[in-house]
Amino acid sequence: MTRKKRPDIAAALQQAGGLREGASRQVAKDSGVPEAHVYGVGSFFHLLAEPDVELRVCTGLTCQLAGADALLVAARAQGIEAVGCSCLAACDAPVPLLRGREVLPAMTLDDVRGVALEALRSPAGEHWQRAVGPELELDASASRLLHAPSYEGASFAKARALGPQGVIDLIARSGLQGRGGAGFPAGIKWRSVAAQAEMQRYVVLNADEGEPGTFKDREVMLRRPDAVLEGLAIAALTVGAKEVYLYLRGEFDRPWRAMSDAIAEFERRGTFGEIAFHMHAGHGAYICGEETALIEALEGKRGMPRIKPPYPTEKGLWGKPTLVHNVETIGCVPAILERGAEWFEALGRTGAGTKLYCVSGHVVRPGTYELPLGATLDELVEAAGGYTVGLKAFSPGGASSGFLPAAERGRPLDFKALAEVGSMLGSAGVVVLGEGVDMAWAARQQLLFFEEESCGQCAPCRIGTRFVRERLDAYIAARDGGDAAAMASALSQVADVAWEMDEGSICGLGMTAPLPLTSAMRHFPSDFPGSSTGDFPGSAKLG
Amino acid sequence: MTEVKPATIVLDGQEVAIEEGETLLELAARRGVEIPTLCHDPRLVPAGACRTCLVEIEGWRRLAPSCTTVAADGMVVRSANERIERHRKTLMALYLTDHPAPGEIAPHIVDGSEVHRMAVECGAPDDWPRMAPIRVGREDHNAFIQFEPERCILCARCVRYCAEVEAVSAITLADRGSRTTIATADDLSLMEASCELCGGCIDVCPTDALTEKLALALPAPIPDKLERVRTTCNYCGVGCQMDLEVEREANEGRGRVRRVLSPPAGTTTNDGNLCVKGRFAYQFIEHEDRLTKPMVRREDGLLHETSWAEALETAARGLLGVKARHGSDALGFVSSSRCTGEENYLMQKLARAAFGTNNCHQCAAT
Ligand SMILES: Cc1cc2nc3c(=O)[nH]c(=O)nc-3n(C[C@H](O)[C@H](O)[C@H](O)COP(=O)(O)O)c2cc1C
Ligand code: SF4
Ligand code: SF4
Ligand code: SF4
Ligand code: FES
Ligand code: FES
């Protein structure tokens, strides 16, 4: 069944200045989409739904460590219409602000205090490529995702010569696993799309990078837009797609420019024949990083994840077989074509390839570091110049991976070893928390994020994210006020709710949302004195 | 020729043949296995959002929504076990934290909320801390439909019904996360939106978030004195079936119709659907101007109660008089769209055969 394509009503609303009164009706008139549905879409995306907000201040965990709240207060004191917002994928440059859709990275209190909205300037200047490492030379051990661009298209030519079957075998043999969060083997996905009976197929780039603590895709797009596009072109050629959609989060103004410039460069050269690239901007919704939510958003709808199966490989964009990949995953592809599957596989330690690890928080030089897959926290932080204070806890793969104690600093940061301790590599957004951080407070920042970013579609997540956060609030109030009875009861449903969110949610957001709290309670009981996890029959135990 | 083995699944230990394309929920219903649902309606594309209908499928890591999962050959499915029971209990306990207590629900609408019934049925704990409502209502000056967002569980049946069955799309899921609600564009009144006031959204709502305003204005009913009476809508010839919710003893024994309800989907030719007239324009039933007996206007210029014989006789005499004085074509016959096809046929027959004129019209013909 071919679905009727809807015009991009979110972009039309953006052009209309956001979801102002009457905008839905106007866009409905122009597009033929019912006005209520236009409104439903507009109200879903924060950058559209709040047209009067002038400035957003990242209040994610890393930025909170850097004093984000004070910047927010200072901006408001200036009479600026400012609100907090979720992670802006600039945790290596805290605290980023968002003026309209323009990111101002690395802002300090002094850059904000007493400064008018239009006069705000980032000390980082126009370019916000940040620290990378450990080596910047074109050496053989790295996948070269952080190096200089090349528009030769040599890998694409090689893929053409190899043919689809050859490329799929190569990708499968390389052991490349998805770098967007789930670690799914890329070869299996390519094979599955290529094997569908339906011949209309699509390739989609997931550049919605929003997992708190993660910013590697931004860095890759800024430095190697060519590699990302060449990887996409190889994928399209291989699975038989002519249309490639790039979904960049709405806050990625500079990566957008880098990618569109690179598209123009390749088009000028005619490198990829008739493969067409379409760029699509997000409008402020973390959940659109979930691949089926992303597809819904591309189709002009509210970004609510679909029920799976069917997976996008079978029924994706407009119901057609679709290959969705993360920026880093697809960026690895040209190098694999160039140097071979065995070369790539051997780069890793406990898994195939190198991995771009993002590290932020209490480290000397936050940034994106390319290390063998399976490097440890200590190795990563060493590359980043060391810890700024003694290590208390860390989050290995974004907010969704919860927290681990310092004792796990030697554990390989890979898909398997982290899953063994109830965590995950996820997006490899590593956040380091030093001594003195209250883990109840840290967990609260992550719970606020999930509550804010839940799509609200399914009950376990919509109700559960708020319930768990309210329970933690009740506990913190009781703890700080010394109310022993309330301390004992406040968290008593958390284990059950967490169990249910994992069992009953539609997508990964709801399934993992309570993990920051449950893992903090489990690994840092001294930050949760006098709490009990409940005794409802069959209650999940946190230990 | 080799026999093709029919596709089957194993449901709770029993082998069941699959009917092409059916979902696990449909298959279970066919076998008399009850699975609780909140967001399901046979008229709508399944959403899989409420999560009450999850079942266990062997080899699947996660519980699967039976309402969206199509039965496939070889599936081994369990509709009840400890895991599913625990899931239902915990899910319903969560729903209760975000839902008004039974006592807080309007006493005028006795259906109550499916959430409360289901929570009791599965033995969910009801003592979890309740959360303060964050979704607030707005005034809507339409006369018929009341929406109370804090009672809404976001099953989106109303939204999907409005789009998929009515093809109107007047309402939408709006906002997101815990603030998700149901809204029109710009929160306009339904009167300013494309709404046709069919009331179908009220009918599909499993809670009392959407209710009939007219009933809210009546004194609270005594639940066991309420009856449902199946009848045929007399507004047009389609013949939709509908259920009147009746209090026989109200109005000093004259009785009262409180609401018009839909028969369950799939049981009547109108599939439970009604239009604004059938759903809401029932006040004529008790209206003081309504004619319930034959009447004739006598010399005093007033209407007087009479027998059918005299009434018909008077009408016939009057009509024949006009024909005699001015000819057949001085007469015209206008039939009502409330008449059936047969009645309309008889009307034109009366015009042509009895009075000899082709001046015959039906009010829906323009
Ligand atoms: C809540 C949620 C958010 C996600 N956000 C992202 C994201 O920002 N970027 C991304 O590449 N994948 C994200 N994913 C993973 C995608 O669903 C999908 O697995 C991925 O894009 C597949 O590409 P890969 O195989 O290259 O990793 C997210 C998943 C979930 C459940
Ligand atoms: S788990 Fe949360 S984000 Fe995912 S579909 Fe459900 S409500 Fe939406
Ligand atoms: S009354 Fe009918 S048309 Fe109006 S919102 Fe409800 S379902 Fe839609
Ligand atoms: S108003 Fe009723 S039908 Fe509509 S989403 Fe809420 S609970 Fe469901
Ligand atoms: S940019 Fe602030 S937490 Fe990521
Ligand atoms: S009835 Fe299946 S999820 Fe709601």
Residues in chain B with CB shorter than 8 Å from the CB of A285 are: 176
Residue of B nearest to A465 (CA): B178
Residue nearest to atom 24 of ligand 1 (CA): A178
Same domain, A302 and A394: no
Q: Which domain holds residue A16?
A: 9-49
Tell me which residue in A302, A465, A538 faces B178 most closely, judged by beta carbons. A465
CA of A490 to the centre of ligand 5 (A): 29
Mean pLDDT of A134-157: 79
CB atoms within 10 A of CB A410: 9
Same domain, A429 and A443: no
What is the tens place of the pLDDT at every residue in B124-165? Answer: 999 999 999 988 777 899 999 999 999 999 999 999 999 999
Instruction: Output B151 or A146, whichever has higher pLDDT.
Output: B151
Residue nearest to atom 14 of ligand 1 (CA): A290
Please name every residue paired with B183 in a beta bridge, in sequence order, or none if there are none.
B172
**pLDDT of A318 strictly over 80:** yes
Whether A303 is covered by a domain: the verdict is yes
Same domain, A188 and A204: yes
- B interface mutation test: which of A472, A502, A503 has the most B CBs within 10 A? A503
Please name every residue paired with B305 in a beta bridge, in sequence order, or none if there are none.
B295
Mean pLDDT of A106-113: 96
The model's confidence at residue B110, banded by pLDDT at 50, 70 and 90, is: low
ipTM (interface predicted TM): 0.93
- Mean pLDDT, chain A, rounded, equals 94
Distance CA B311, CA B305 (A): 9
Q: Delineate the domains of chain B, giving CATH numbers in brackets.
A: 8-80 (3.10.20.740), 94-216 (3.30.70.20), 223-286 (2.20.25.90), 327-366 (no CATH)
Mean pLDDT of A66-87: 97
Instruction: Output A147 or A431, whichever has higher pLDDT.
Output: A431
Tell me which residue in A25, A38, A462 faces B178 most closely, judged by beta carbons. A462
Same domain, A381 and A286: no
- Are the Cβ atoms of B93 and A496 closer than 8 angstroms? yes
Structure tokens, A246: 């790039």
Distance CA A434, CA A381 (A): 12
Same domain, A385 and A487: no
Which pLDDT score, from 0 to 100, does residue A2 have? 47
Tell me which residue in B90, B174, B194 faces A500 most closely, judged by beta carbons. B90
- B interface mutation test: which of A450, A458, A502 has the most B CBs within 10 A? A458
Please name every residue paired with A324 in a beta bridge, in sequence order, or none if there are none.
A204
Any B CB within 8 A of A50 CB: no
**pLDDT of B1 strictly over 70:** no
CA of A88 to the centre of ligand 5 (A): 5
The alpha carbon of residue B238 is apart from the nearest alpha carbon of chain A, in Å, by 28
Tell me which residue in B90, B177, B185 faces A499 most closely, judged by beta carbons. B90
The model's confidence at residue A4, banded by pLDDT at 50, 70 and 90, is: low
Same domain, A90 and A161: no
**Residues above pLDDT 70, as percent of chain A:** 96
Cβ-contact B45, B161 below 8 angstroms: no
Same domain, A524 and A402: no
Q: In the listed set A299, A319, A345, which residue is the last one of a domain according to the structure?
A: A345
What is the tens place of the pLDDT at every residue in A382-427? Answer: 999 999 999 999 999 999 999 999 999 999 999 999 999 999 999 9
The model's confidence at residue A355, banded by pLDDT at 50, 70 and 90, is: very high
The model's confidence at residue A338, banded by pLDDT at 50, 70 and 90, is: very high
CA of A324 to the centre of ligand 1 (A): 9
From A91, A432, A446, give the residue whose CB has the most ligand 5 atoms within 8 Å, as the site to mutate.
A91
Q: In the listed set A345, A376, A399, which residue is the last one of a domain according to the structure?
A: A345
If you count residue pairs, one on A and one on B, with CB atoms under 8 Å apart, how many are there? 146
From A462, A465, A467, A468, give the residue whose CB has the most ligand 2 atoms within 8 Å, as the site to mutate.
A462
What is the tens place of the pLDDT at every residue in A195-225? Answer: 999 999 999 999 999 999 999 999 999 999 9
Distance CA B302, CA B189 (A): 43
Which pLDDT score, from 0 to 100, does residue B135 have? 85
Whole-Å CA distances, A322 to A165, A186, A259, A310, A317: 18, 13, 21, 11, 6
Residues in CB range of A543: below 8 A, 6 or more apart? A522
Give the three-class secondary structure for A216: helix
Q: Which atom of ligand 5 is nearest to the CA of A60?
A: 3
**pLDDT of A538 strictly over 50:** no
- Are the Cβ atoms of A21 and B186 closer than 8 angstroms? yes
Same domain, A310 and A336: yes
Q: Picking from A40-44, A217-221, A226-230, B338-342, which range would have the lowest pLDDT averaged per residue?
A: B338-342
**pLDDT of A534 strictly over 70:** no
Half-sphere exposure of A67 (CA within 13 A, CB side): 10
Residues in chain A with CB shorter than 8 Å from the CB of B184 are: 36, 39
State the pTM of this model. Answer: 0.94
**pLDDT of B184 strictly over 60:** yes
**pLDDT of A254 strictly over 90:** yes
**Domain of A494: which CATH number?**
1.20.1440.230
Going by C-alpha positions, the residue among A499, A495, A502 that lies closest to residue A533 is: A495
Cβ-contact A334, A124 below 8 angstroms: no
Any B CB within 8 A of A184 CB: no
Distance CA B345, CA B348 (A): 5
Q: In the listed set A67, A94, A119, which residue is the last one of a domain according to the structure?
A: A119
Same domain, A177 and A323: yes
**pLDDT of A537 strictly over 70:** no
Same domain, A201 and A333: yes
CA of A306 to the centre of ligand 2 (A): 9
The model's confidence at residue B105, banded by pLDDT at 50, 70 and 90, is: low
DSSP A65: H
- Are the Cβ atoms of A39 and B50 closer than 8 angstroms? no
